[in-house]
Amino acid sequence: RMEGQGIYTLPTGTEYRGTLRDGMFDGEGELVFPNGGRYRAVWHRGVPTQGKYTFADGLEYKDKKWHYCDGYDRRFYTEICSGLKPPG
């Protein structure tokens, strides 16, 4: 079974980078998705106990008070950070 630090590539192209114990994700590690998103977490026997997802553009997902495309503001993350730019 896999043990220690390493990189494991799943059939979908997603990579796990971090600690493995007894063939399972265990300890600090992150999943790197083909679209550029990342999920950093602390794992225990293959199950994340706490973690954070970051989209490819740098936007961090937050379960509470997430100001991205909510009912009041439908702008994209880039526009929120940089403001609206004129066309052309």
Q: Is 16 within 8 Å of 23 (Cβ atoms)? A: no
User: What's the pLDDT at 34?
Assistant: 92
pTM above 0.85, yes or no: no
User: What's the pLDDT at 69?
Assistant: 52
Q: Calculate the CA dihedral of residues 28, 32, 36, 37 and round it to 10 degrees.
A: -50
Q: How far apart, in whole angstroms, are the C-alpha atoms of residue 40 and residue 38?
A: 6
User: What's the pLDDT at 60?
Assistant: 83
Which residue reads 């379960």 in tokens? 63
1-20 pLDDT, tens digit per residue, is 788 999 989 888 999 999 99
27-68 pLDDT, tens digit per residue, is 999 999 999 999 999 998 888 888 888 988 888 886 665 555
